[in-house]
Each structure stands twice: as C-alpha cells, then as structure tokens.
Amino acid sequence: MKYSRTEEQSCKQVFRVELDGHEWSHAREWATRGVAEQAHLPGFRKGKVPPQVLEGKFGKQIEEEALEHAIGHAARTVLEETKLEPVVNPSVSNVQRSEQGMVFLLTIELAPQIVLGSYTGLSFVRETVEIRPEDIDAVVESLRRRYATYAAAERPARWGDLAVIDYEGTVDGQPFEGGSVKDVVVFIGSGEAMRDLEQALVGRSAGDAFLMDLEYPKDHANAAVAGKTAKLAVSLKEVKVGKPPDLGEDFARTVGGFASMEVLRAEIRSKLAAEKEHEIRERLKATVVDRLLRFAPAQVAPSLVEEETRMMAVRGAEQLARGGVQRLDQLRTNPDGFKNMFKPAAIRAVREAFVLEAIARKEAIEVSDEELDREIRKGDREGEITDATVATLKRDGRWDRLRARLRQDRTLDFVIGAANVTERAICL
C-alpha cells in the first residue's frame, strides 16, 4: 500500500491511498471466505460452495465487503503510521477500481491546535437587576387582564376591549393562504394582532363591516403576504368589555393558590429576579466566550460544524412548530436555506467547545457518571427520568454529549469565578 498527503489544513488532512492488485486480491479472497462461511445454497454444504458459484450468486456482496475491508485496513494503517487522531471517523471519496488495484482519497478531520493564553484574571462587567414595585405592578395588571370577565359592550370599541371579527383578505385581487378567518378574537391594544387592524377596530360597533388596506412587514411569517398590501373585508361581530377582578385574597388564590397579595407579589418578585438573573448570566457567558475565542483558529472540522448546524436547525424547526409555523415555505425558505441560517452559530459553538475542552484538560475539570446522573435527574419531580431512560441516553450517544455540555458549563463557571467581575445595577 502507498499513500501520500495531497492536502493539509489545520482542521483536516487528505491522503491519496493506492492498493496494488495483490492487496486487492487479498481483500477479495477475505470477503469470499466470509460469504462462503455464511452462504446457504441447495445442493452444497455450508462453507463448501465453489468460488465460481459464489461469484455468480453473491458477486455484488463480495465486492462491497472487499471494498469495506480494504479501505478499513488502509485507513487504520494511515492513522497508525501518521499518529493522527481524528475527531470523527475518516471519510472516503473518489474510489476507483481497476484490475491493477484501487485508489481512493482518505479525509481525516482533526482537532485544532489550541494555544491558550491567559484565561484567568480577566475583567468583566456584570449587570445586576433591581426589581421595582412598578415592575411587580405591571405583572399584577397583566394577571388581572388575563382573569377578567368579559361582557358585550353597548358602545363602540375602545383600547383594552375584545373584538370578535371575521375577515376575507386578498392580495392583487387573489385570496391568499390564511386570509380567510372566522371568529377571531382580537385584544385591542395587546399587540397580538397587527397595529393597523387594532386601530381600525377602535370606534366601531358590533355589526359594522368595513374595508381596509393592511401592509404586511417584509419579515412576516406568511410568505404569501410578506412585504405586500392586502385588502381586508372585515366584519366586527362583537365588542366585549372586560371587568378585571378586584385585588385581594380571592384574586391571589385564583391566580395561583396564594394566601395573600403579599405572598403573590413576593412570588412575582422572585420569578422576575430569577428570569433576569438567567438572562444576565447568559449574556455574561457570551461575553466570556467572545474573549476566549481568540485562542481558537477560524477553521474547525467541517463534519462537526455540519452536525452542529443540523442539530441547531432541528431545534429551530421544533421551536417554530410550537409557535404555529409548520412549513418552511411560510418563511420563504427551503430546508437547505433554513439549515444554513444556523451555520455561523454552529461554527462559533464548535470553536467554543474546543477552547473550553482545552481549558478543562489543563484545569482537570471532569464530570463523573454520578454527577451527570444527578444533574439529569435534577428537577424531575414526576419521575419521568428512570434508569431505563439513562440507559437509552448511554446507548445512543446522548450521554457523552450531555457530559461534554456540562463540562463546558463548569469550565465557563471556572473562568468566570477566576475573573475580576464588576457589578453594574440596571433597572428592569
């Protein structure tokens, strides 16, 4: 066997591998023996089928297994002799077969060489949030609107009312998907519907019908109307006015089983603080990563980027589906275009992972099976994560991915803990 390096980058190396006729014949003989040992043909004992019969019956299988054996043996030889450590299984391309042997390209993707500079004693500004009484008041008022009782209004619609409408929409005189709806509830002033539609309802009474132009933004989720002006024929069927409940113990019990308004407000404060603390923590982590990425090369293993891009796209599609977007053409894109939207973030994530892995190795930061098990089960009050669940995670590879993620989180915590962090108060 002969091989030569045809391409060398920081993240991958490509080799041209040649096997002569003798080596290929040896691979064919190996594959033929394997098939013969398993072959069952009428009139022949197991393992005693003549080679010419095997070729006639199992020629394609023998060829495929010979190729797999020859390429696998050659790839292992290249890795052993070059001492290269791939981050994913090497890939094979441009396979050419002839009577003289075979030639193929072997691509080996590598971890980048991370040269760490100083990552302790860095200086960062961390925000802290002051939860003001008016912030809590805003949440309480939102809860009051949610639990309001609504009755028909004997007057024109105002801001804060509910309107029940039908409408038929056209663009350039043609109906469009999603343009015909019945009994839609519009909370005027909530921002859930388009502002122009909400504005058009104010001052109108139940039974009114009217025409209006509605200009859709260019980034609207419905590609049929994005950036276009639709004509809507609107029928206002009902106007309802809400009566928010009075504040007191009954309200506190209704919205969450709280004993008093004081307890409810304390719970709201706690949740607001936790939400903002999480947002602040994530922003700080992103800032820290920005500083650490200077240790990472721009190029990283393409296969890792591709896999990270794919996983991000899957999660993105799931999130869109939960928001009601079921088809990508509603976003004026296709599967490849949608996936490529995540590629810059995927490159960043892979570069980040390599830097944090280098720091974790240097600082001996590890995550044991017991620690990972506790982390996975944390907050599982319903007992949904069982030993069988953990076994499945280990079998399909997610266990190791979760371990790597937790190790990265702990490494970031280490860097932040070793930094000079100045706090700056902001209002919610």
What pLDDT sits at residue 72?
92
Q: Is the pLDDT of residue 214 over 60?
A: yes
The Cα 300–Cα 324 span in angstroms is 35
Which tens digits make up the pLDDT trace of 350-378? Answer: 999 999 999 999 999 999 999 998 888 88
Least confident of 61-75, 176-190, 218-232: 218-232
Which tens digits make up the pLDDT trace of 14-71? Answer: 999 999 988 888 888 888 777 776 666 665 656 566 666 666 667 788 888 889 999 9
The Cα 316–Cα 389 span in angstroms is 24
What pLDDT sits at residue 322?
74
How confident is residue 419, by pLDDT bands cut at 50, 70 and 90?
A: very high
Name 93's Cβ contacts closer than 8 Å, sequence gap at least 6. 104, 105, 107
Closest CA to 180 of 140, 123, 231: 231
Closest CA to 6 of 103, 72, 88, 123: 103
What pLDDT sits at residue 327?
64
How does the average pLDDT of the chain come out, rounded?
A: 87
Report the 10 Å Cβ neighbour count for 74: 23
Report the 10 Å Cβ neighbour count for 395: 9
Q: Is the pLDDT of residue 428 over 60?
A: no
